[in-house]
Amino acid sequence: MTNIIPISDLRNYTEVLKDVDKNQCVYLTRNGHGAYTIMTMAEAEEYDRLKAIYGLMKELKSSEIRADKEGWVSEKEMYTS
C-alpha cells in the first residue's frame, strides 16, 4: 500500500519512519501536491544505479546515431590513429 502523508506529519518523524521499508517509500505532500519522498538507503542506491545505467544507455544510443550519420571507424583505423 502506498503511504501518502502531509509534510506536517513529520513533526512525529519516528512514526513516519516506521512506514518506510525496503519495498515501500513514504510520499510527502505540501498543500495537497506531491513534494518529497522518504526511502531507504538501499532504494536510493538502486535508484542511483538505475539512473547511471539509463544515462549510459542514452549516451550509447546517441553515439550510435552519430556514427550512423558520420560513419563508423574500422578497427584497423582505430589502432593506426
* 19-72 pLDDT, tens digit each: 888 678 899 999 999 999 999 999 999 999 999 999 999 999 999 999 999 999
pLDDT the model gives residue 2: 77
pLDDT the model gives residue 38: 94
Of 16, 22, 19, nearest to 46 (Cα)? 22
- What are the phi and psi torsion angles at 50 (to 5°)? -65, -35
Non-local (6+) Cβ contacts of 47 within 8 A are 39
* Residue with the larger pLDDT of the pair 75 and 52: 52
User: Coil, helix or strand for 59?
Assistant: helix
Q: Domain extents for the chain? A: 3-39
Cα(23)–Cα(1) distance, integer angstroms: 10
pLDDT at 1 over 70: no
pLDDT the model gives residue 64: 95
pTM: 0.69
